[in-house]
Amino acid sequence: MTTGFDIFYSMALVPYVENSLPALSKLHNSSAQFRFANHDLRLAQDWKRLGVAAVVWDAAIVMCMYLELEKVELKGKGAIELGAGTGLVGIVAALLGAKVTITDREPALDFLSANVKANLPPDSQGSAVVSELSWGEGLERYPAGGFDLVLGADIVYLEDTFVPLLQTLEHLCSDTTVVLLACKIRYKRDTNFLSMLKQRFRVEEVYYDKQRDIHVYQSRKLPPRRDL
């Protein structure tokens, strides 16, 4: 029998047993409410049907908090969100003025699209499109180096995805593209990914939420190496 967890395992953050910790019970709520970009947002959640990809995780909240600080220019910029899940980050980026392509794997798209439609006002509906993207696959459907900003909240978690994720970042980024990754560093493999990223990108920590233990890293492509 295929479960929501099976479908989304490759997008999973950390599995947990239902009711194992009271603090995690909020993930089983049918919705989560926030106020970002002067808008009240209500994100549908569907743990039972779609698993970990269909709940709002702390990294997404911290990423939105960072975007509101206006440290990165969003107005009029082309952005893409990877592994969007509920779509919170992409929605907030669109409300702050970016033109956002909000992506996830195919099974999540209907759920993701419904959240985007429900939370963007009519005059902002054209600021976000939902699109299928499995890392490392079909990248030719996206313009090489065609985005000003790449966003990812809690997408660094599974070692098997590290190489295709790096391939995807390299394809999407030009020399001027800014990559923002919001991460909880849970395991040594998470720092291993950052080490891999530093081989191709200049990486710096730009924000840390102590309460939630979430780091935000900003990255830009390194110039190509010239062999002597």
Domains and CATH numbers, the chain: 57-221 (3.40.50.150)
Q: What is the reported pLDDT for 189?
A: 79
In degrees, to the nearest 5, what angle opens at C-alpha 217 toward C-alphas 157 and 79?
Answer: 90
Instruction: Work out the pLDDT band at 190, boundaries 50, 70, 90.
Output: confident
CA 139/CA 76 separation, integer angstroms: 24
Per-residue pLDDT of 101-136, as tens digits, reads 999 999 899 999 999 999 999 988 899 999 999 999
Per-residue pLDDT at 94 exceeds 80: yes
**At what angle are helices 109-119 and 88-95 packed, to 10 degrees?**
30
| Lowest model confidence (mean pLDDT) among 83-92, 196-205, 207-216, 218-227 | 218-227
Per-residue pLDDT of 23-55, as tens digits, reads 455 667 889 999 999 999 999 998 777 667 788
CA 177/CA 219 separation, integer angstroms: 8
Q: What is the reported pLDDT for 162?
A: 95
Q: How many CA atoms lie within 13 A of 190 on its CB side?
A: 16
Residue 34, classed as helix, strand or coil, is: strand
Tell me the Ramachandran region of residue 142: left when phi exceeds 0, alpha when psi lies from -120 to 50, beta otherwise: beta
84 vs 228 pLDDT, higher one:
84
Instruction: Work out the pLDDT band at 223, boundaries 50, 70, 90.
Output: confident
